Structure 1
Amino acid sequence: MSKFSASDAAFSGFRLVRENLKTVAIWAGLMTVLSILSNTVAIQFFGPKLGAFLNYISDNSSPDPDELMRRMADLAPMMLWSLPYSLLVNGVIFAALNRLVLRHQDSRLAYLRLGMDEVRQAAVWLLASLVLMGVLFLGSALSGFLAGLGGPTGAFLALLCAVGSLGAMVYLAVRLSFASAATFETGRITLFRSLPETKGQFWPLLGAYLLAGVMSVIVILLIWMIVYAIGLVASGDFAATGKMMRADTSSLKAYFTPAGIVQALFSGVFSVLTTLIVFGPAPSIYRELKEGRAGGSADGGW
């Protein structure tokens, strides 16, 4: 069985960033533009409701469930609109990520395309999300049913079911983590057929993904600390710095301020960095394992 180093794999996303700075800068710029455009559309049609919802969340540490659901229902049309947008963006960015790792020489247009590879990536991510959400939903429903039985036994069984459903979701997420890379490589939507690729690799993969996730959080926090430090030096007021970094989405006039543009800029940078650091290990490990089974070696680059 081919093996890999979980610790080395966890840092493969950082290597992708370091070795492809120009590409990362282009992706970050594109994501910034898309963030501004999507926010503009959302504010144009849902600005007041979106602003009220965000203010309610930020001002209430324990929001009322009924009021929260009512405010979310007001934003349902925006959520429906954002679904195809998110699928399109995910399809493009994950196809680009797989192309960067698996076809590194195909670097024209900074690995960005808009074709069937992107459509297949959007489809496989939608299918994987539906499967994982389905597992969690079934577990929650069964847990609620068991809790309804009452008594210590019912509560204990409900707890076991909840923990089991979370464990099953994590297990499936890890086992299906090569679906995106396999889909890109084969040119066919591959979900459960990618399971053999992760057979016997669950714990190393889980360790690599957890470490990558932790490192991603650390990087984001460090960037925010630097930004807040700069804002604090410039304004001399910590509270004002916090407000400066939170864009006002109540109207387009309020959004298109230095704070709104800064927030959109960092949103694009964070999105690209998170994608590379958190999701970069999966195709990198996939490539390493495939080359190990084939007796090949890496050709220098990602």
Structure 2
Amino acid sequence: MGEYQVLGVFRVAKRFSAASAAVSGWALIGRRPLSVVVWSAVILLGLFLPALLLFLPIIDPFVEMVRAMPQTPNAQDPEMTARIMAMQGQLSLMNIGMMAVQVVAPTIVTAAAFRVVLRPQEQRGFFLRVGATEGWMMLVTLVLTFGGNIAIFAAMVPGALLGLIGFVVMAIGGDTEAGAVVGVVVGVIGVIVGELALLWAFLRLSMALPMTFAERRFMLFESWALTKGQSLRLLGMLLLVGLTLLVVQIVVGGVVIAAAALVAPGLAKTLPAARSVAEVLRLIWPVLAVALPLAAILQAVVQVVCVTPLASVYRSLKPADEAQEAA
């Protein structure tokens, strides 16, 4: 029956409350604060610290390479070319590692948040698991990430082409200045239309992760059928989530600025004397020891606020047979 419930002989499209879904993440945090703290530890140990360890080894070689660059670079300098190639290799390896850490820990936390909503009986271990379900969700995340990057570029191409065509047509008519204006206007409109189409596609595919979690298998385009007729509600939910996060961002930004004003003067006196990453870490480790755990908690909160509404919406839209099974 897909996205419909049967009431007598009538098929009535399922609906959900955008407002209720938008605040479901905050409600989860209120009900399970200790779980969110544990999830933030997963973010700290599985995302922040590995990212830091991946980034640190390339800082000193990069600084040395920059210092060794002559004021007038010689394209034929074999030593500098070798250094640049070596640095590119290190950056490529770092990017691959970053791609892994950016997917693994956040997906585990996302699955835990989904579990609170869709399988509340699985509360052992603060709802955390590492298994096939999380693996399928990681695959969906990678597909959506790569596909999204390609789609963002593709959404801009038609607008750019339309702008170029508009410029050429006006230029042929002899009005180059007007052609430039028309080209820019048409191009901007084309890009906006493309981005709106991309947003619509994202909304239609937004149930891919909760569906994959619920079904324990790869699901992507199945979301398209489930979200039919729900785009405006999904958009409203997205805007409400963004509004709540904007308030949090303003508050956190004020706290960060105040903390930086207290710490920055001291660091400004000591950091210029550092000559290596090790010396910098020795000087700033007290700041990192406080900032990284707090940043991990904030990251976990933001992630829960963003992903929990997806599970809440799926719970409202899922087919009747799944609803009966869950009950």
Give TM-score scaled by structure 1 length: 0.78
The answer on whether the counterparts of 1:213 and 1:277 sit within 8 Å (CA) in structure 2 is no
Residue of 165, 177, 180 corresponding to 2:206: 177
Deviation string for 1:160-180 (max 9, x for gaps)?
Answer: 220111101111111111110
Q: Alignment partner of 2:289: what SS?
A: helix
Q: Alignment partner of 2:294: what SS?
A: helix
1:282 matched to 2:310? The reply is: yes
Give the direction of change, closer, same or farther, for the CA distance of 1:121–1:45 in structure 2 (3 Å limit).
Answer: same
Give the direction of change, closer, same or farther, for the CA distance of 1:274–1:243 in structure 2 (3 Å limit).
Answer: farther
Deviation string for 1:208-265 (max 9, x for gaps)?
Answer: 1111122123223323434554666xx4x7x539979xxx9x7244235111222211
Q: Which residue of structure 1 lines up, in the alignment, with residue 265 of structure 2? A: 240
Q: Pairwise mapping of residues 202-281 of structure 1 onto structure 2 (< 5 A)?
A: 202-226=231-255, 228-229=257-258, 235=262, 239-240=264-265, 251-255=277-281, 257-281=285-309
Greater C-alpha Rg: 2
Counterpart amino acid of residue 194 in structure 1: S
Q: How far apart in 2 are the matches of 1:33 and 1:262?
A: 14
1:93 matched to 2:109? The reply is: yes
Q: Which residue of structure 1 lines up, in the alignment, with residue 15 of structure 2? A: 3
Deviation string for 1:112-137 (max 9, x for gaps)?
Answer: 12211111111111112223222221
Q: Which residue of structure 1 lines up, in the alignment, with residue 131 of structure 2? A: 115
Deviation string for 1:70-115 (max 9, x for gaps)?
Answer: 9x96844422221122222233222222212111110122121221
1:80 matched to 2:96? The reply is: yes
Q: Pairwise mapping of residues 28-177 of structure 1 onto structure 2 (< 5 A)?
A: 28-34=40-46, 35-46=48-59, 49=62, 75-149=91-165, 150=167, 151=179, 152-177=181-206
Deviation string for 1:3-33 (max 9, x for gaps)?
Answer: 2221121111100100011100111122223
Which segments of 5 or more consecutive residues in structure 1 lack a partner in the other structure?
A: 54-69
Which segments of 5 or more consecutive residues in structure 2 lack a partner in the other structure?
A: 1-12, 67-83, 168-178
Counterpart amino acid of residue 286 in structure 1: Y
Report the aligned-residue RMSD. Answer: 3.4
The answer on whether the counterparts of 1:2 and 1:293 sit within 8 Å (CA) in structure 2 is no
Give the direction of change, closer, same or farther, for the CA distance of 1:46–1:104 in structure 2 (3 Å limit).
Answer: farther
Counterpart amino acid of residue 170 in structure 1: L
Q: Which residue of structure 1 lines up, in the alignment, with residue 174 of structure 2? A: none
Give the direction of change, closer, same or farther, for the CA distance of 1:175–1:27 in structure 2 (3 Å limit).
Answer: same
Q: How far apart in 2 are the matches of 1:116 and 1:196?
A: 24
Question: How many pairs does the alignment contain?
Answer: 274
Q: Pairwise mapping of residues 186-201 of structure 1 onto structure 2 (< 5 A)?
A: 186-201=215-230
Give the direction of change, closer, same or farther, for the CA distance of 1:220–1:253 in structure 2 (3 Å limit).
Answer: farther
Counterpart amino acid of residue 280 in structure 2: A
Q: How far apart in 1 are the matches of 2:54 and 2:184?
A: 46
Q: What is the percent sequence identity of the aligned residues?
A: 25
Segment drifting more, 265-274 vs 82-91: 82-91
